[in-house]
Structure 1
Amino acid sequence: MDRRQAVDLGEFGDAFRRDPHPVYAMLRERGPVHRIRIPDAAEDYETWLVVGYEEARTALADPRLAKDGAKIGVMFVDQALVGRYLLATDPPQHTRLRSLVTRAFTMRRIEQLRPRVRRITDELLDEMLSPGGGRADLIAALAYPLPLTVICELLGVPEMDRTEFRKISTQVVAPTDPESESEAIARLGEYLTELIEDKRRSGVTGDLLGELVRTTAEDGDRLSPEELRGMAFLLLIAGHETTVNLIGNGVLALLTHPDQLAALRADMSLIDGVVEETLRWEGPVENATFRYAVEPLEIGGVRIEKGEHVMVGLTAAQRDGARFPAPDRFDIRRDARGHLAFGHGLHYCLGAPLARLEGRTAISSLLERAPGLALDGPHDEWLPGMLMRGLRTLPVRW
C-alpha cells in the first residue's frame, strides 16, 4: 500500500472521538487493514490498523506480531518506568509471568469475591440514592469506585485518595499529553515500589500482591522486584479502568435503547446478554495495545514489513457485519459470543471473569433500585486517545 495514502484520523476532528463507528465502517468498506495516522500524537505517528473481524482475530494470535517492542528497538515510557508486564512480553517470558500470576488469580478467588462485590455495590448505591438526591454522575458515584475498591482490596492496596488516583490512572490510559502521562506513570511506579517492599517486609498473606511477592514456582522461580511492579501496575490499572467503561457504556446503551431496557426490566435473567452485547457493541477498549512485526507478513492482503507497528481495532472489528449481523444494533438477546473485547489468544484478559461479575452486579443492582433511571444531560465527553472507549461523566436522574 502506498504510504502516502495513510488515513489521517485527526481530520475527522472531535466527531471521531465522540463516535468513531462511522469512520471504522468507512474503512471496513475499503478493506480490512489500513495505514492510519493517529490523531493528537506527539508526532505524525503512523501505524497499521486492522478493522476486519477475522483479520483482527487472526492478528491477535499471530506470533509474528510480537508484544515486546524491544525486539525491534521500541520501549514505551510505561515499561521504562515500571518494568515489563504481561501485555509487553512474548513467550517464553510471557508464559513464565502468566503462570506465576495465574496461581493467585483463580476462578475460585473471583467467585469468593461475589458477596463482597455485591456489598460494595449496595453501599455505593445507598449513598448515591440517599433521600434528597435524585441525580448524580454515574461514573463518579458507581462505575469508578466499584471496580477500584474491588481491585484495591484484591491486591491488598491500602485505601487511597480516589480522586487523586483517578487523575493518575486516567492520565496513564487516556493521556492528554506525553509529559502528564510520564509523570503519572512515574508517580504510580514509585507508589508500587514502596507498597511491594512493605509487603515483603511484613510477610502478611491473604491478598493477591502479597501472594505474588511470595509465589514460588515448582522450579523455584519467583517474580523479580521489577516484574512485581510491572504486574501490580497492570493489574491495578487494567483491573479497574476497563470495568469503569463496561458499566458506564452498558448503562448508556440501555438508557438510549428503551426497548432493550424494558426487555431487561421484564426479565432480569437477560443481564448476561446485556454485559456481552455491551462488550461487543461499545466495548471498554477501543484498540489493543501495539504489536510489532518481527518478520514480514500479510494481513488481509496487505503486506506488513518487519519492524512495523500494528494496532488491532477491537471496536472496529466488533461492528463487522460479516461476523455480527446488523452490527450497529444494540440487541441484548444477540449471541455475542466470539467478541474480542477481552482479546484473543495468549493475551486474553486474565480479569475477564471479574469484569463480568462487576458489570452484572452493578447494572442489575442499579436498575432494581432506581426504577425511574434516565439520562440527565449531555453524555458526549469521551476519553481522549485511541486506547480506551469510555465516558468521563454520565449524568443520570431517578
Structure 2
Amino acid sequence: MTNQVGYPVIDTAGRDIHGESERLRALGRAVRVELPGGVIAWWVTDHALIKQLLTDRRVSRDTYRHWPAWENGESELAQTWSLAMWVADRNMITAYGAEHTRLRKLVAKAFTARRTQAMRPRIEAITEELLDGLAEVPAGEVVDLRERFAYPLPVRVISELLGIPDEIRGPLLRSVHEIMDTSASPEQVKANELELYRLLHELVAIKRTRPGDDVTTGLIQAHDEDGGHLGERELVDTVLLMFTAGHETTVNLLDQTIALLLTHPGRHAAVLDGSSAWEDVVEESLRLEAPFPNLPLRYAVEDIDLGDAFIPKGDPMVIAFGAAGRDPKVHGEDAAEFDPTRPTRRDHLAFGHGVHHCLGAPLARLEAAVGLPALFARFPRLRLAVPTEDLRPLGSFISNGHETLPVVLTRTGEETP
C-alpha cells in the first residue's frame, strides 16, 4: 500500500513483518515510508548500512534535541501521535552523546557478567518450577506455551532483578503489553500511557518505602543522593526500559525458537541428539526472528549523504533489525530459511550494535540457554497443536512473537498419538 505521494504505508499491526521488509529492501537500502499520522520516515533494511548508521555520530535517538517536528514535546504530533510512547521516553537508549554515556554507566551496573551469571541458579529454579507445572497438564490437552513458559520465565527473572513487588507486577505487565499493540488508536494509546506512568510512579513510591537489594532501589538511591546524576523522569523511564526490554525480547526469543524447532523436524531432531548445539539454535533464531524487528525512531543530526539516498538533517529513521538478519548479501539467498549450521548465524543485529548494543543480551541468552534445553529434555516430543499457518503474530510491527503458541506436551515415555 502506498500513499498519495508514492511512499509505502507501514502496516503497524505487523501482519507480515518480513514480507514488508523484503518489499522495502527491493526499493533500496533506505527508503521513505509513511508511519501513522502521516509521519514520513526513512526505513533502513541493509545490514551494512544499519551497522554504519548505528555507529555514526550524525545519528541520534534523542527526540527532544534532534526531531524538529517534536518541538520539545510541545507539538500537536507529540501530544497525539499513536507511536509517541516509543520516542518520548528519557532513558539510556534515547539519549545522545555524553547523556547516553552517563545513563549507560548506571544501567551497566545491573548487567555485569558476574551479576548475570549469579542469576543462573534462580533461572534454573524458575524453569524447573514452570516445567513441573506443565507436567501436571493432562495428556493430550492443548497448552499455550507462550503464556505458560516463554512469558513467565523472563518476567519472573527481570522482576526479581528489579525488585518488582507482587502487588504491582500484574498491572504493570498488562500495561506494558498494551503499549506493544502498535495498531491501537491514538486515544487508546494515550490512555495506556497515562496508566503505565501512574503504575511506574507507584512502583517508585513503593520502593522508596520498602527498599531492597535490587536494581530499582539502586536507581532510586542514585537519584535521591544526587538528583543531578539521575533525574526523576530518567529514573522512571530507566525502570520502564529495563522492565520492558528485560522481558519482552526474551519472551519473543523463547517463543520463536520453540516455534522454529517445532516446524523444522530435522533441526528439532539434531538439537535433541546433540548434533546441533543449543547456542547455534538460539543465534540462528535471533538472526531469523529478531525479537524487536523494527524500532522507531532515530534522527539525522546533520545531512547524511549515502550516495544512493540523501537523509536531510532532522529526518526520522526506522532501523529494521529484522530485515538486517535476513539480508541476502550477508546470509545468502536462503537467508529466510532456518539453519543453525549457517556460518553467519552469529552475524546479526538482533541486540543492536555499537554504543546502543543491548546490555541485557547476555541475560537473555542465559535464559534461553537454561530454559530451552530443559523444556525439550522434559518434553522431547513436544508438538504444535495447530498447523503452522494458524500461528498468529502479535498486533505489533515492533514486537515479534505469536499471540499464542498452542502445543501438546508429550513426556518422556509417552507415545505420540
Under a length normalisation based on structure 2, what TM-score does the superposition of the two structures give? Answer: 0.86
Matching of residue 253 in structure 1 with residue 260 in structure 2: yes
- Corresponding residue for residue 386 of structure 1: 397
- Structure 1 distance, partners of 2:90, 2:284, is 33
Contact 1:287–1:312 (CA<8 Å) still a contact in 2?
yes
Alignment equivalent of 2:348, drawn from 323, 327, 339: 339
- Structure 2 distance, partners of 1:334, 1:4, is 41
Q: Deviations over 1:98-130 (max 9, x none)?
A: 112212331111101001011111111111221
Matching of residue 35 in structure 1 with residue 29 in structure 2: no
Contact 2:223–2:229 (CA<8 Å) still a contact in 1?
yes
Q: Deviations over 1:140-186 (max 9, x none)?
A: 10111111111111000112476644431122122322222222232
- Corresponding residue for residue 412 of structure 2: none
Alignment equivalent of 2:364, drawn from 355, 370, 388: 355
- Corresponding residue for residue 415 of structure 2: none
Query: Compared with structure 1, are the counterparts of its residues 241 and 79 closer, same or farther at alpha carbon in structure 2 (3 Å cutoff)?
Result: closer
- Structure 2 distance, partners of 1:201, 1:161, is 14
C-alpha displacement at 1:268, in angstroms? 7.4
> Given residue 4 of structure 1, which amino acid in structure 2 is its aligned partner?
V
- Corresponding residue for residue 46 of structure 1: 40
- Structure 2 distance, partners of 1:300, 1:137, is 48
What SS does the corresponding residue of 2:216 show, helix, strand or coil?
Answer: helix
In the TM superposition, 1:230-241 aligns within 5 A as: 230-241=237-248
- Structure 2 distance, partners of 1:276, 1:194, is 37
- Structure 2 distance, partners of 1:347, 1:63, is 12
> Given residue 274 of structure 1, which amino acid in structure 2 is its aligned partner?
V
Matching of residue 149 in structure 1 with residue 159 in structure 2: no
Q: Deviations over 1:42-69 (max 9, x none)?
A: x233211011111111112222111011
- Corresponding residue for residue 200 of structure 2: 192
Query: Compared with structure 1, are the counterparts of its residues 123 and 161 closer, same or farther at alpha carbon in structure 2 (3 Å cutoff)?
Result: farther
Contact 1:24–1:316 (CA<8 Å) still a contact in 2?
yes
What SS does the corresponding residue of 1:34 show, helix, strand or coil?
Answer: strand
Contact 1:270–1:333 (CA<8 Å) still a contact in 2?
no
Query: Compared with structure 1, are the counterparts of its residues 79 and 264 closer, same or farther at alpha carbon in structure 2 (3 Å cutoff)?
Result: closer
- Structure 2 distance, partners of 1:200, 1:161, is 14
Q: Deviations over 1:259-311 (max 9, x none)?
A: 11111011176111111111000110111230011211023620011111111
Q: Deviations over 1:320-370 (max 9, x none)?
A: 111112211211122322210001111111110111111222211111111
- Corresponding residue for residue 297 of structure 1: 304
C-alpha displacement at 1:230, in angstroms? 0.9
C-alpha displacement at 1:23, in angstroms? 3.3
What SS does the corresponding residue of 2:32 show, helix, strand or coil?
Answer: strand
Matching of residue 137 in structure 1 with residue 125 in structure 2: no
- Structure 2 distance, partners of 1:103, 1:116, is 19
Alignment equivalent of 2:21, drawn from 24, 28, 42: 24
> Given residue 358 of structure 1, which amino acid in structure 2 is its aligned partner?
E
Contact 1:32–1:300 (CA<8 Å) still a contact in 2?
no
Segment drifting more, 44-53 vs 72-81: 72-81
- Corresponding residue for residue 278 of structure 1: 285
- Structure 1 distance, partners of 2:119, 2:230, is 25
Contact 2:24–2:45 (CA<8 Å) still a contact in 1?
yes
- Structure 2 distance, partners of 1:180, 1:241, is 21
Query: Compared with structure 1, are the counterparts of its residues 94 and 3 closer, same or farther at alpha carbon in structure 2 (3 Å cutoff)?
Result: farther
What SS does the corresponding residue of 1:328 show, helix, strand or coil?
Answer: coil
- Structure 1 distance, partners of 2:103, 2:224, is 10
Contact 1:53–1:323 (CA<8 Å) still a contact in 2?
yes
What SS does the corresponding residue of 1:316 show, helix, strand or coil?
Answer: helix
C-alpha displacement at 1:25, in angstroms? 2.4
What SS does the corresponding residue of 2:33 show, helix, strand or coil?
Answer: strand
- Structure 2 distance, partners of 1:171, 1:143, is 18
Contact 1:18–1:380 (CA<8 Å) still a contact in 2?
no
Contact 1:286–1:315 (CA<8 Å) still a contact in 2?
yes
Contact 2:91–2:241 (CA<8 Å) still a contact in 1?
yes
- Structure 2 distance, partners of 1:380, 1:161, is 31
- Structure 2 distance, partners of 1:352, 1:3, is 41
- Corresponding residue for residue 101 of structure 1: 107
Matching of residue 206 in structure 1 with residue 206 in structure 2: no
Contact 1:105–1:208 (CA<8 Å) still a contact in 2?
no
- Structure 2 distance, partners of 1:211, 1:269, is 41
> Given residue 201 of structure 2, which amino acid in structure 1 is its aligned partner?
T
- Corresponding residue for residue 407 of structure 2: 396
C-alpha displacement at 1:138, in angstroms? 0.7
Contact 1:59–1:299 (CA<8 Å) still a contact in 2?
no
What SS does the corresponding residue of 1:30 show, helix, strand or coil?
Answer: coil
- Corresponding residue for residue 414 of structure 2: none
- Structure 2 distance, partners of 1:29, 1:195, is 46
Residue segments in structure 2 that go unaligned for 5+ positions in a row:
79-83, 410-417
Contact 2:276–2:340 (CA<8 Å) still a contact in 1?
no
* Percentage of identical aligned residues: 36
Contact 2:15–2:395 (CA<8 Å) still a contact in 1?
no
Contact 2:18–2:323 (CA<8 Å) still a contact in 1?
yes
> Given residue 6 of structure 1, which amino acid in structure 2 is its aligned partner?
Y
- Corresponding residue for residue 6 of structure 2: 5
Residue segments in structure 1 that go unaligned for 5+ positions in a row:
none
Alignment equivalent of 2:328, drawn from 298, 302, 321: 321
- Structure 1 distance, partners of 2:384, 2:266, is 15
- Structure 1 distance, partners of 2:86, 2:21, is 30
- Corresponding residue for residue 134 of structure 2: 128
Contact 1:171–1:180 (CA<8 Å) still a contact in 2?
no
- Structure 1 distance, partners of 2:85, 2:7, is 27
